[in-house]
């Protein structure tokens, strides 16, 4: 029998690691779509934490948190849709009309205001009865509207947004045939498919609760029956997090998505913006090389890709794509190669008489002795001492 407690805890930890990769890890891209994905995952995590508190009975210690996840679950479907849209079209901000996606979230916050401000004793009584009988959570009206509104509207909203996600992917594939798409774009499209499939599983976890309640009402409180939708939901969430931890390069997104204006076929004297993939980034390559040549920014030990993007005036995602695909290196390896070239240009027999190898390495931008030796061995397959012994003996 699967231990739901262990499985949910593993999903939560995996989700937090994914958020770390997205927003906190050194050299994380922190693109607009990454922030949306982090919000999506954190919303899922909060819902999972609240469920665990109820499942274990520990919610009685933090009764004020009960039902706080309910409105937040209405952010998850639109966040999933907006994430797919911003990745496919390299959007950097929300549109005004996107505020409409918040209506269900705001609606259910208002719905539960009377409960949120109710006495703690009342909340504890509700929680106790919910723990004793799961059907009580569905039958007891806590807000302005009956709880059935929540349990019915939630899967309907999820299915609608899931359809929107598939439409986005279908239209993008139609406009950009696979044979014309580069490797990174294939990787991102594959990730978005996995993300959307996982969303479908998450939705199934919510949807299946309704027929279980209607058809097996007398057995609804059984952990064996109740655990089924929770496992399905957990697998979907776990899949999203695991995929990103295994293939973090998918977060680099779609590079150089541009728009060109064409004469509108619908309105006279108007133009339409048509998506296309711009794969000539020679100007950006020159900008990157000139930036490092003029500033020698690689001499900074903690230089981040975001800092280079700002100073070189190249979008973060485009910069990452060029380094990964044109130079075929990770950002840190790209910096370390320049640092090593600088290091070697500074070393001769006279220099080594006055300075240690480690001192020159630190001056060349390496943050520590160990990082220098790892990079040197990675690029030259030997130690610095062996390299110079061979070099100066010739």
Residue position matching structure tokens 């995590």: 45
Lowest pLDDT segment from 255-264, 291-300, 322-331, 368-377: 255-264
Query: What is the three-class DSSP state of 277?
Result: strand
Q: What percent of the chain has pLDDT over 70?
A: 79
Residues in a beta bridge with 262: 272
CA distance 124 to 346: 71
pLDDT-derived band at 232 (thresholds 50, 70, 90) equals confident
Decide which of 340 and 4 is more confident: 340
Question: What mean pLDDT comes out for the span 341-368?
Answer: 84
Question: Rounded mean pLDDT of the chain?
Answer: 80
DSSP 255: -
Q: Could you give phi then psi for residue 385, rounded to 5 degrees?
A: -60, -45
pLDDT of residue 279: 61
CA distance 313 to 168: 30
CA distance 40 to 377: 40
Contact by Cβ (8 Å): 168, 88: yes
DSSP 276: E
Decide which of 228 and 52 is more confident: 52
Contact by Cβ (8 Å): 317, 34: no
pLDDT of residue 246: 80
pLDDT-derived band at 118 (thresholds 50, 70, 90) equals very high
Which range has highest mean pLDDT (190-194, 232-236, 240-244)? Answer: 190-194
pLDDT of residue 230: 66
Residues in a beta bridge with 259: 275
Strand 271-277 versus strand 257-263 pairing type:
antiparallel
Tokens describing residue 145: 């509207």
pLDDT of residue 174: 76
pLDDT of residue 1: 42
| Cα-based distances in Å from 186 to 176, 180, 191, 250 | 11, 10, 9, 9
Whether 55 has a pLDDT exceeding 70, the answer reads: yes
pLDDT tens figures, 62-93: 999 999 988 998 999 999 999 999 888 878 78
Question: What mean pLDDT comes out for the span 281-293?
Answer: 87
Please give the model's pTM, rounded to 2 decimal places: 0.69
Strands (E), 184-278: 257-263, 271-277
- The conformational region for residue 45 under phi > 0 = left, psi -120 to 50 = alpha, else beta, is alpha
């Amino acid at each position: 029998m699967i231990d739901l407690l262990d499985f949910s805890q593993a999903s939560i930890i995996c989700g937090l690691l994914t958020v770390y990769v997205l927003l906190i890890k050194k050299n994380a891209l922190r693109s607009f779509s990454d922030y949306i994905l982090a919000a999506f995952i954190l919303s899922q995590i909060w819902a999972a934490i609240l469920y665990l508190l109820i499942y274990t009975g520990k919610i009685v210690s933090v009764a004020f948190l009960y039902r706080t996840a309910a409105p937040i679950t209405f952010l998850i479907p639109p966040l999933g849709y907006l994430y797919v849209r911003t990745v496919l079209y390299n959007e950097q901000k929300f549109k005004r009309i996107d505020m409409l996606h918040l209506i269900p979230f705001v609606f259910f916050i208002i719905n539960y205001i009377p409960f949120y401000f109710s006495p703690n004793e009342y909340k504890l009584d509700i929680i106790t009865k919910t723990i004793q009988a799961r059907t009580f959570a569905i039958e007891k009206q806590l807000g302005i509207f009956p709880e059935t509104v929540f349990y019915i509207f939630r899967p309907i909203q999820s299915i609608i947004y899931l359809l929107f996600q598939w439409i986005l992917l279908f239209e993008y594939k139609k406009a950009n045939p696979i044979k014309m798409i580069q490797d990174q774009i294939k990787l991102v499209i594959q990730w978005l498919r996995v993300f959307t499939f996982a969303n479908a599983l998450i939705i199934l976890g919510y949807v299946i609760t309704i027929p279980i309640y209607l058809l097996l009402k007398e057995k609804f409180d059984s952990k064996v029956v109740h655990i089924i939708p929770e496992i399905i939901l957990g697998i979907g969430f776990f899949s999203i997090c695991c995929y990103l931890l295994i293939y973090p390069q998918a977060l680099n997104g779609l590079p150089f998505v541009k728009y060109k204006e064409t004469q509108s076929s619908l309105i006279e004297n108007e133009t339409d913006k048509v998506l296309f993939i711009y794969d000539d980034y020679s100007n950006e390559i020159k900008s990157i090389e000139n930036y490092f040549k003029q500033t020698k920014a690689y001499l900074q030990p903690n230089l981040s890709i975001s800092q280079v993007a700002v100073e070189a005036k190249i979008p973060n995602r485009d910069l990452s794509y060029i380094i990964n695909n044109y130079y075929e290196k990770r950002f840190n390896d790209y910096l370390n190669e320049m640092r090593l070239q600088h290091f070697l240009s500074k070393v001769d027999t006279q220099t080594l008489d006055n300075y240690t190898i480690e001192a020159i390495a630190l001056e060349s931008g390496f943050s520590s002795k160990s990082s220098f030796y790892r990079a040197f061995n990675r690029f030259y397959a030997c130690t610095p001492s062996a390299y110079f012994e061979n070099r100066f003996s010739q």
